[in-house]
Structure formats: C-alpha cells, structure tokens
Structure 1
C-alpha cells in the first residue's frame, strides 16, 4: 500500500509539471491578451473598437493552438508540436459559434452556403464559446505521442530518398484524423466538463465557500505543485470566467503573494540565524519579483507554518470574494506588479485589500508559531534545516534513500561547457540561481554559459553541470544521468556555488564530494550483531527524532527489522552493550562514549543526510 501511495504522489507531481510546462512558456501571450482586454474593450482604459477585435480571436485560437503546439513539442520536438496544433484546432472549432462559418460563406457554392448558414446558426444558438485550453492540454500531447509512435514503426522501413515524403504526409494525415476525433469527441466533452466546473466555481463563489479552496492550494504550492495548480487548473477556468464577466477571482487564488509575504515578515522579526538574515531579501523577491518558490523552504523547515499559509490564503480569498475582486488575465509571476497590471479599472482597492489581509493574517499566525517554537530545528543553521526537511521528504516519497541523492561528486570538471539550473517550471527560482552563479562565473573569467530550464526539458550531456534543488535531485539524475549534478537547498544562498567555481577554475580539486563530511568511518559497525539502534541526544530532540525516522525508512526499504529508539545521553547506561549501536553527532561523540563505552558507536555530522546509513545497510547479510 505504501508503494502505491508513493507512486501516486510521483505521478501527480509529474502530471502537474507536464501541465504547467504547456502553459508557462505561453504566459506572454496570456499577458498580451490581458493587456489588450484591459486597454481596448468598451469598458477598458482606452476603448478602441479596431484593436478590441483582436481580443476574441487571440483567446479563441492563438492561445489554445500555442498551448497545443507546446504540449506536443515537449514530447516530440517540432514535429510533435505541429501535429498537436492541428489536433487542437479540431477541438477549438467544435465549440465555436458562427464567426468562422460566416466568414467562409462568401466563397462557397449556393447550396453549400445555405448548409453552412444553417449549421452556423445552430452552433450560435447552442452555447457560448468556451476557450479550448483544456482541450489543447489533451490534444497537444496526444498528437505528439501518436506521431512519435508512428515514426518509430515506419521510419526504419522507409526506403532511402522517400523520408521527406513519408514524414510530411504522415504528419499531415495523422493531424487531419486527430482533428476530426477532437472535433467530434474531445471538444464537446471538454466544453461540457468546463461548463460543469465553471458552474461549480460560480456556486462556490456565490455561497462564499471559495476560500475553502486555499486549504488545499497553500500546502500543495509548498510541495512544488504551485505551477500545476495555477496554470493547469485555475488558468483555464479563470480564462473562461474572465471571457464571460471581464474578470475572475480564480486568478488570485494561487497568485496572491500575501500568505508568503506574511511568513517571510515573521521570520524577519522572530526568526533566527540564517533564516532571519535572508528573509528580507526573500520577501522583496517574493513580493516584487513574484517568485513564490523562495518562501517554500521557510515553511518546510517548520511545518507548523503550513497553518500560517492556509490562514493567510483563506483570509485573502474571503476578502477578495466579499469585495468582488478579480483579474482580467493570469498574473504570472505572482508579483504585486503583475497583479496590479491585470486588475480591472476601478477595482484596485479591493485587490490590494485581499493581498494586505492575507499578509497580516499569515504574519500573525507565523509570529505566534515562531515565538512559541523552541525546537532544535528552529535554532539550527538555515541551510542544515533545509537539507534535513528535503531529505526527509525525499525518503517519504520513495525517490531516494537518505544520504544518496544529495551528495554529488564534482571531481574533474575541466570538460564542463554548460551549466543549467533546473527547477520544476524552468523559471522563477532557477532563473535567480542562474543569475547568481553566472555572475560568479564571469568574475572568475570562465567561458561557460549558465542558463535555466524546466527539469522535464533536461537533455543528457556529459559536458553539462546541472544544478537543482535537493527535492528534485532524483528526477535530475533520471533526466541527465551522464551530466555532473549538484543539488542545493536554496538557489539564492548556497555555499556550493563557491565550490563549483573552485572546481571549474582548477583550484582545490580533490575529487571529493561537494558536501564534505567529517564523519567517523563506519567500517567497524556490523548490523548483523546489532539488536537495537539508539539515537542519543541532550535536551533538544529535534535532529535525533528526524534521524531516527530517516533510518527507520531506510531499514524498512531494505527489510531490516532492527528496532530504533532515541534516548537522552544519561539513559545510555542501560544500553551499554556490544549489541547496541549508538548514533550521535560528532560534536557529542565523547559524551555518548562516556555513558556507553561498550556499545558500538556511529558518529556523523548530520543525523539526517549522512551517507553512512547506506554503508552499514549494504553490509547486512
């Protein structure tokens, strides 16, 4: 059962990434459409009938076709994109009114013109147009998958000299057939589904229940599903609603920067160590730059802060709902600048109140949590806390065993020609990390390009160094197994950047891991004679508890049935036996050995991210 749950989580994350990767590259089109709408429609800032004519066709045709093309291109390059765009067009036309038909009537024979007129009138009287964004998300990848499978079957059998003929006709014919399928089945089905969901959203809004959505949205955001939620679900529904009413509250559900801003402000006043020091810069980037991912590590290092994010999100949406707030188009990134740019004329104060109320509530809740929480993690270094949480999450998802996915060997990097920062969407946080390292590369005089992209678009290359977040490290290993890979906790504040520069410039290369451990060797530890593992700690139990849970996960994965517990140093006297393994941090090794000199000892630098656990497990018979 546990493996099925893990598999489901991974599949959901991959699906969300696929959806967001179709929409994110086309956000500029949505912004252009939003600006056209804000400026030139009848109630816009600068009403202009001629320019306003572009609003409808851009939403109806350009946006879905580009999303369909992008979805196909992500699967099978340009060829998949073309077939995906053709297939998408069939779904678009299935749900549109009479405009396209009337424009073509002039060139038809009289008997056909009469038929087209009757059919167009029937369509026009049936239902309002539905933007086919969801249809594009289906037909784009489907078209690419079909042509990819067809090519794999046909191309090896194609005679020399006929490749172009077969390629062009196969793509055209398959695209044609898929457009018919989309027109007959997919378009109407998506229209029905979209209308049903839109009515459901309207019901929630009218009943003032839409704020409950943030109970699920805020935690999902922090778990790297923010782009999937915003661009895969809310954008299609919000776009359809904005076409009908001129604005949509859905564009503010995920994009509202208030919850994250309140948490970062709480760290500025009540945080400790590196978390407190980095919070002001993170707040500025989050609020003005719209990079929401920057506050996720702050929440993950203290999970109780999920409550602050939820409280802020629910409050902000409730205020927006009561005041009738909404945006004309998606605000991406979720910057206050982008939000105000998409705000309809005359509704700036309600939108600002929604952001302000979310900020105040999340700040108050986060402040209470930070002031009352005296756990060990709260006082640890920010980087170490990030690594601990990321490792624990990776183990829980079954993506990696503790200590494996986060130790990347640089070794000889003289062959590196490219550095790629990879994150879930390929924008935002990875772009900022790339900018920081690009500046360091330039100052070091290195002729190496530094770019950023979505992790789903990584290409395997031996001359490339891939930098990614620790949570995404296993996926980076799958996408680019031959590349040199480095995992960091925080794109904005990682000491590994200096180590990368040293390695690339040929200074201090010692072929050792980027993450250097000073742990005692585990060669003397033999789990075959161990009856219990004890994590030893002092007054603060946070790190030892996480270490215990990490080792439990590793033992369970390897079918090792050795009990694990955690105890205060003074209680070790009851475990002073050679069949007991005592695990503690290096700085406390002397204390542990004093209370249990006969026991076996494993001293590590980090109780959560150490690779020593995997080493002792590998020797079990």
Structure 2
C-alpha cells in the first residue's frame, strides 16, 4: 500500500491508537474466526448432504436408496464431527497437536454431557409432550478446545527440561491422557449444564427478536462492527452456532444472512461508481466485483471510513435485507463463507426455488436502499469533497489500522487508486527507511532502493535506514511498513510518506523512483544548480568491511521439516545466544517486534530482531540463518529463510545489504533453496557483491 503526503495539511492526522476494548474484541473475534473458518468446508459439505437428501425425498415418494442411507450421516456430522473439528482447531491454535488432541477429548465431555441432560429431561416428560432436541455443542467446543490446550501447555511447562532422558514419551502420553480424562469428566458433569443454559438463552433471545419483528435492529450493531473488524466475535461466536442449530431443526437459518448479505456493500460501491469523486470513484467498480463475487467484504470499508455518515446507508440496507428475508421466510443451510453471492446461492439451494428467489429479493432490495441513501449523502457533499481533494488512500490506511494487519485486497485498491504518487513540490534528496529498531528490515529495504535508483541513473539521493524514534525531521521522503506509518508521520511532518507491505520487493519502489525522477525534472526547471544532499551531511553512508564473525558457518542451519513462527524465533535466539551476541531476554524482544509489525520481507524471507528498546540485550553483532524446507507460517506469510539479527552499530549492515540483493533476485533465491549443505549456503550468502 502506498500513502503519500506532500505537506502536513494534505495528510490525514495520525489515527489514535485503538482502544484496549476494541483491540481486545478484535483479537477475540480473530481467534474465534481462526477456529471456525478452517472448518467451514466441513459445514458446507454437511449443508450439501442435507440439501441432496431433503430434495430427493421431496421429489420421490419413498426417496432413493443411496440418499436414504446418506441420511444417517447428517446427525453425526453436525452433532459430533463439526464440534470436535472446531475444538481441535481451537486447541491447535493454543498448543499445536497436543492441544488439538486434548481439546477434542474435552469437547466430547460437553457433547455427551449435554445429551445426557436432555435424555433425562425427556424421560421425565408426561406422555404426548414435545421432547427437547439435542443441542449441538459448537459453543461448548469453542470453550473446551482452547481451555484444554491452555491447561496442557501450562502443564507441559511445569516439567519442561526436568524429565530424565528416556521418559519423555511416557510422561507426554500419560499427562495428556490423564488431563483429557479429567477435562472430559469436568465437561460432562460441570460445564454441560451452564453451556446448555447459555445456548437455550441465546436461542430464545433470537426467537424473541424474530417473533417481535425486531431482528432487523441487529443491523445497527452488525454493520458498524463490520467496518471496524469487530464482527467476527458476533458472527463466529453467536450467529454461526445458533444458525447451525436452527438450520438442523428447520432446514435453514436466517442468521446466516445477517452478516453475509452482500447487498449493502454492493449498493454502497455502486453509489460511489456513479456519484463518487477521485480515486474512490475510479476504484469502486473493481471493488464491487471483488466484494460481490469474491466475497471479500473489507474492500468497501475504506469508502465508509472516508465518510462515516455512510454508515446510515449501510444500516438502512442491512435492515431492509433482514426484513425482506423475515417476510419471505428464507435462509441458508450453512454459513456463506466467504460472503460471495456464489456461496450465498449455493447455501440457499436446499430450500428450493422459492428460497432462492427470496434470498435474491433480500440482497437486491438491500443493495437498492443502500444505493439510494448513499447517493443522497454523496451528492449533498460532492462540492466539499471536490474542494478537499482525494482522501481515499488515507481511508485505506485507517482501515488497515483498524484491522491490525495488512490486506492484499486493500493494497490492491491503493495500487488501483494511484499507480504513481503525486508529484513532489521540491526535489527529493533524502530518503529514510524507518522501522521500529532500525537494524534489520529497514536496512535491507534501503539497500534494495539504492540499487533501483542506481539502475535508473540516480546517484545523488541519500538513502539510509533509521529507527522511527531517531528520525531527525529533515527527510524529503520516508518509507515505512503499513502498520508503522502513523508513528513516523509526527517525526517527519513535512515529508512524503510511503507505506509498503514489505521492504524486500515492494512494487512501490518503482513509484518512488519515478517520483524522484519527477522531482529532479521540477528542480531542473525551477532552480540553477542546487546541490544534492551528500552522504557527508548525514554521516558516512559507506559501510564498514564485513566482520567475518558476523555470519559464520556454524550459525547457518538447514531444517528439512516445517516449523512454527515461535519455534523459528526460539532457534534464531538460541543461535545468537550461543554466539555470545545476545542475552536470554532477546527472545521476548523479538516477539515484541513481531507484535508491532511483521519482519516478513517477501521472497520467502523473514529477519526477526528485537525492538529499539532491546538494545541492552545485544552484546555484539551477529546473524543467524536457518532454512526451513518445510516452510514457516509467518503470521500468514510463507517463509523458508529466517535470518536472526543482533546489531551493534553498523557491523552487520553490509552483510544484510548483500542478503537483500540476493533475495531481490528470484534466481538467487532458487540457488539458496537448492544448496545441499550449510557450507554451500554460507558460500552463497558470503559471495554476493564481493567483486
């Protein structure tokens, strides 16, 4: 993503740090989403099976033998398989495979405990009264899976490193088995009753809203929550479990349409396509296609944040859709995820033609109402919008800030909005790459940009890296990762600010080169030989010779399997500790750095290092390199090479510059991946630019 500002007045003021409550809800919702979303395919499969069985039964007198047999799959899937899958995923998020196994066992306790309670209740009913149906323990699984894994993790930590060699497997197996048994029993006898009560209370609340025609009011909560990425807690914590229970009992549920209806977002984007201004108008048609067909709803969020009064249009459209769906008595058989119109129609087919038609009316009318309200708002403020200029890039930045991480969908909007940044008012002579510590990712980014500028024949622009806290206030242009831009703006209020997704191969570098060229042309036309800022004005830009001790062969490793991000951080820290470069506190400093902004650089490379506050934990400069042939999931990005950094002064920067140039060349990365030994890998890393 690129964000440019040519003066303090033209940039949006830095956003305030999100409140702790909002961040907490976001993290909670993201965790719930992490449990539910990977299991959506299983929910879709269950919905398809249900639709096939129901439709065949409706169109034949006695059904069809294969589908009659398949009917026996429906209840075990929804009652046992899906909750256990959710519990396993929740456990895996906390404590990997051990957490997943213990979480599944614990979830079985609340499932069977709930069944036992309902069986007892039904047995005591007078003859002829309606019996209670079983409760599908989705919420129980979402509680027991993570809880069991957390307890297992704490238990493992008690005797980590204290077990005598040869007894590890015995202790690991029996500790997990015993804890699983205890939690199963606790779920059966202790937790099943309150979870049953909670499910019943939530279900009755939804029924009350439907019976009193108040369900449309949920749009007042859901639509704003979506824009600020707070909807996952509502959607995955309440709507999905209740909707699944309702769909099993009634064949479909309107709850699956409350959040997934693509109509309001479509109506908003169509209104911008017709009545918007600037980049917002230009990008709206493409965003509408991504939203409606691709199901990525977040692409319309910047349009709302640019003009928050448009929430009224979103709420009006959402309420219209819910009201229409209620009046026509339509719903989906399973969650529509992602919220694409294709997924919506697939999950509506089980209700027959009437259900499909009703769902169509729902999204069409909601889109029409949103379009009408948004059109009035946009037309009424059109003159002011034209005077203020384009605020779209700033709105995208605020959206990503609200999300808490970068988004390829939102980044594509920015690329469409401005292929080349606005021309600079003065010549660009000084460019700073800024990150939290200024020792790793920014140094590599600066190296890549220097090479690009040199290739374009530009040799008199000073490019260096700094910590954000050390920015001196004299920059012409500052490049930061997306999550750090708002911290850099107050330090360099007069600079152009460019935000990138990663420092290694960001497409924005080509835009910066063009921007520098444009500023040189303007300077040539309007001045008579102003001198470019030289390296001596800022301190020498010449890196010291590489200390042979910074990266030695014993600090390079090749792992054939995969690793988690935490395991990779631990190994990087262990290598640096053994080299005498850092103290034991450095691991937490690296974790803190990842929490602030990812050290993923692109090209399958991550360079974990500590924050600027962790300088005291660094004793000397050193690098570690580990190649994970099975890959590392680095906060959603695929990483093969993990380069751990400990830097004192500039001793490590020249080798980092070499690594940056290596990883900006796909053929060189392929050679690094093909190296069969640590010695060969060390030779490839050390040979760059030595000529």
Written as runs of structure 1 = structure 2, the 5 A alignment for 1:228-247 is: 228-247=233-252
Please, which of 85, 90, 99 is the counterpart of residue 71 of structure 1? 90
Once the two structures are superposed, residues 484-528 of structure 1 have per-residue CA deviations (whole angstroms, 9 ceiling, x without a partner) of 499xxxx9xxxxxxxxx9995379xxxxxxxxxxxxxxxxxxxxx
Written as runs of structure 1 = structure 2, the 5 A alignment for 1:499-514 is: 505=664
Please, which of 85, 92, 107 is the counterpart of residue 104 of structure 2? 85
Are the aligned partners of 2:303 and 2:395 in contact in 1 as well (CA < 8 Å)? no
- Kindly state the Cα deviation for residue 228 of structure 1 after the two structures are TM-superposed: 3.0
Tell me the SS of whatever aligns to 1:330: coil
Partner residue in 1 for 2:53: 40
Please, which of 383, 396, 402 is the counterpart of residue 386 of structure 1? 396
How many residues align? The count is: 429
- Kindly state the Cα deviation for residue 198 of structure 1 after the two structures are TM-superposed: 0.6
Is 1:19 the counterpart of 2:24? The answer is no
Once the two structures are superposed, residues 576-604 of structure 1 have per-residue CA deviations (whole angstroms, 9 ceiling, x without a partner) of xxxxxxxxxxxxxxxxxxxxxxxxxxxxx
- C-alpha spacing 1:326/1:275, structure 2 compared with 1 (3 Å): same
Partner residue in 2 for 1:286: 291
Moved more, 231-240 or 406-415: 406-415
Partner residue in 2 for 1:136: 141
- Kindly state the Cα deviation for residue 278 of structure 1 after the two structures are TM-superposed: 1.3
Please, which of 304, 308, 316 is the counterpart of residue 311 of structure 1? 316
Partner residue in 1 for 2:157: 152
Is 1:188 the counterpart of 2:193? The answer is yes
Partner residue in 2 for 1:52: 71
Are the aligned partners of 2:277 and 2:386 in contact in 1 as well (CA < 8 Å)? no
Partner residue in 2 for 1:411: 443
- Kindly state the Cα deviation for residue 127 of structure 1 after the two structures are TM-superposed: 2.9
Are the aligned partners of 2:88 and 2:103 in contact in 1 as well (CA < 8 Å)? yes
RMSD, aligned CA: 4.2
d(CA) in 2 for partners of 1:226, 1:87: 28
Written as runs of structure 1 = structure 2, the 5 A alignment for 1:331-410 is: 331-343=336-348, 344-345=351-352, 346-373=354-381, 374-375=384-385, 379-380=389-390, 382-387=392-397, 410=442
d(CA) in 2 for partners of 1:422, 1:187: 45
Is 1:477 the counterpart of 2:594? The answer is yes
d(CA) in 1 for partners of 2:149, 2:121: 31
- C-alpha spacing 1:126/1:180, structure 2 compared with 1 (3 Å): farther
TM-score normalised according to structure 1 size = 0.62
Once the two structures are superposed, residues 129-153 of structure 1 have per-residue CA deviations (whole angstroms, 9 ceiling, x without a partner) of 0110000000000000011000000
Once the two structures are superposed, residues 160-186 of structure 1 have per-residue CA deviations (whole angstroms, 9 ceiling, x without a partner) of 100000000100110010000011122
Unaligned runs of at least 5 residues, structure 1: 102-117, 395-402, 424-432, 442-454, 464-473, 492-500, 508-621
TM-score normalised according to structure 2 size = 0.56
- Kindly state the Cα deviation for residue 480 of structure 1 after the two structures are TM-superposed: 6.3
- Kindly state the Cα deviation for residue 376 of structure 1 after the two structures are TM-superposed: 6.8
- C-alpha spacing 1:338/1:476, structure 2 compared with 1 (3 Å): farther
Partner residue in 1 for 2:582: none
Partner residue in 2 for 1:95: 114
Partner residue in 1 for 2:282: 277
Please, which of 162, 186, 207 is the counterpart of residue 202 of structure 1? 207
Partner residue in 1 for 2:305: 300
Is 1:29 the counterpart of 2:42? The answer is yes
Once the two structures are superposed, residues 403-422 of structure 1 have per-residue CA deviations (whole angstroms, 9 ceiling, x without a partner) of 98899954326999xxxx99
- Kindly state the Cα deviation for residue 281 of structure 1 after the two structures are TM-superposed: 1.2
d(CA) in 2 for partners of 1:65, 1:314: 34
Tell me the SS of whatever aligns to 1:235: helix
Are the aligned partners of 1:270 and 1:371 in contact in 2 as well (CA < 8 Å)? yes
Please, which of 300, 322, 326 is the counterpart of residue 321 of structure 1? 326
Are the aligned partners of 2:22 and 2:230 in contact in 1 as well (CA < 8 Å)? no
Are the aligned partners of 1:301 and 1:377 in contact in 2 as well (CA < 8 Å)? no
Unaligned runs of at least 5 residues, structure 2: 1-15, 405-433, 449-480, 484-500, 510-563, 573-590, 607-635, 637-659, 667-691
Tell me the SS of whatever aligns to 1:96: helix
Once the two structures are superposed, residues 193-237 of structure 1 have per-residue CA deviations (whole angstroms, 9 ceiling, x without a partner) of 111111111111111100000100000011112333222221001
